[in-house]
Amino acid sequence: MRLVYLWIRAALLHPLRSLTAFFWLLCGKRLRARNRFSVLIEDERYRYEKWLQKNARLSEDDRARIRAEIEAEGDKGPRFLLLCAVGVEPDQQLILRTVRSLRGQFHENWQLAIVCDDKSLLEEVKDRRVKVIVPSDVAAAVSKAAYVGWLKQGDELAEQALYRFARAAKASPALMYCDEDQINRKSVRRHSHFKPGWNPELLVSCDYVGGLSLVRSDMVTPGTGELAQWKTRYGLLLRLGASLQRGEVAHVPEVLYHRYVKRFIGPNSVRPSTHGVNHEEVLRSFAGLGDNVDFEVAEFGHIRPRRRLMDGSGSPLVSLIIPTRDMQRLTKNCVSSILHKSEYRNFEILIVNNDSSKPAALKFLKNISKHPKVRVIDYPGPFNYSAINNFAVTQAAGEYIGLINNDTEVITPTWLDEMLAQAMRDNVGAVGAKLLYGDRRIQHAGVYTGMGGLAGHGHRMLKAKKLGTFSARIFASM
């Protein structure tokens, strides 16, 4: 019944798009119809409520197992310092919410440092682990902890949060972070943020790590700005980002942090990278970026770094491989768009003819082969996309290879410049571009493993100008 209700609602709100989806269903294109219906009936709040009912709470058996593990180990585990800067207008009720969530932790070796000039704040809290300190005392508190984290007043942690982090800390990572959602004064939770693994390229554009993130204390130097401020945490992550390898970062894939909000602010409300950070100054010192990057503020308030080809790197030849069989119109549009719209000009196009037989296709291949940037090579036999491309690579003269489907067209003149600038980085092996359908909806903005039990296209069917999960569809990711 719920699905029927959502379909009726979609038909009322989006009649034309609903008819389009129904048309594809009648034509037998069930996958295409399902993709269009799934966008129309999206109900994030309902889905997350159902997910919470199944996954949010620990069972009594889980609690007993955790307590037994902690007791069997016989030590206190790492000491976590949680900094909470409350500014000039502390909200005592919100702070007490945060304190209550900490006092319910299985892992008890923590300290909450409320950074405020008013030391009389929370005098009624009789817990030696909760202290009100002035900003000048933060560095001393950091020196006594194994890991340092940042909270805001009203934020809460799941009861197993610090226990999970303590387990992850056994490998001594430089950084740990978890998934999160939003919580309001009524303790209603919505808008999950299931975060990706360590992705320094995405971190440059937006604060996808968010809370709760814990940094090993030896990585936090006394000179790192105003240590307790939220912007300091993000600036610190940016400074560390390029030097940290994936094995030095632990992502705990559980919703352990509940970010307090006065009102829910949407499922993709990642704090912009411009949030209180002198961003360009930080990024200019961010190893691996240097002066070969231009920065612009994107339409959503995030920073978008555009990499340029490194000085002295020259203009390496790129071989663009396009397999085809008879699809003359598609192939012509594809090749023409590359030849006429690409700003980067040091490329060759290898059209791989796989037994084309239609006169129009053969005529096009004969004519286009006369272009100085185009070669047509034959690959007879059954169509095998992998085999065709592998064969074409042996015929290519370029230092870099581009694999192009013949049903794509260039719409951004700098496409090859930006992809090549990424591909030329020492730690990058392959680069993919965001693809749009003809109606400017996303075909994919990355291939994600785990979807449908295997893999799938990320952000499919979203509008091209929609942020997407953690802004990942508009910014480069690794």
Q: One digit per residue, pLDDT tens: the chain, 478 residues? A: 666 776 777 777 778 878 888 888 888 877 777 777 766 665 555 677 778 888 878 889 999 999 999 999 888 899 999 999 887 778 888 989 999 999 999 999 999 999 887 767 677 677 889 988 888 888 889 989 999 999 999 999 999 999 999 999 999 999 999 999 999 999 888 888 888 889 888 887 778 888 789 999 998 876 555 788 877 788 788 888 778 888 899 999 999 999 999 888 765 555 554 444 555 555 555 434 556 777 776 655 567 777 777 655 678 999 999 999 999 999 999 999 999 999 999 999 999 999 999 999 999 999 999 999 999 999 999 999 999 999 999 999 999 999 999 999 999 999 999 899 889 888 888 998 888 888 888 888 877 777 767 887 777 777 776 655 544 444 455 5
Residue 367's pLDDT is what? Answer: 96
Residue 321's pLDDT is what? Answer: 97
Q: How far apart are CA 339 and CA 373, in angstroms?
A: 8
Closest CA to 330 of 362, 370, 361: 361
From start to end of 218-344, where are the E strands?
A: 249-260, 293-297, 303-307, 318-324
Task: Looking at 303-380, list the stretches that DSSP marks H as alpha helix, in order from N- to C-terminal side.
Answer: 328-341, 359-368
Are the beta carbons of 39 and 75 closer than 8 angstroms?
Answer: no
Residue 202's pLDDT is what? Answer: 82
Are the beta carbons of 351 and 322 closer than 8 angstroms?
Answer: yes
Q: Determine how many CB atoms are found less than 10 A away from the CB of residue 77.
A: 19
Residue 375's pLDDT is what? Answer: 97
Residue 392's pLDDT is what? Answer: 97
Residue 266's pLDDT is what? Answer: 65
Residue 44's pLDDT is what? Answer: 55
409 phi, psi to nearest 5 deg: -140, 145
Q: Determine how many CB atoms are found less than 10 A away from the CB of residue 48.
A: 18
CA distances from 186 to 97, 264, 282, 459 (A): 11, 12, 38, 32
Q: Determine how many CB atoms are found less than 10 A away from the CB of residue 93.
A: 10
For residue 367, what are its two tokens?
Answer: 């004519």
CA distances from 260 to 154, 155, 156, 194, 391 (A): 5, 5, 7, 17, 56
Residue 14's pLDDT is what? Answer: 76
Residue 288's pLDDT is what? Answer: 45
Residue 318's pLDDT is what? Answer: 96
What contacts 461, CB < 8 A, 6 or more positions away?
35, 36, 38, 39, 441, 442
Sign of CA dihedral 442, 448, 452, 454: positive
197-211: burial string, b at 16+ Cβ within 10 Å, e else: ebbbbbbbbbbbbbb
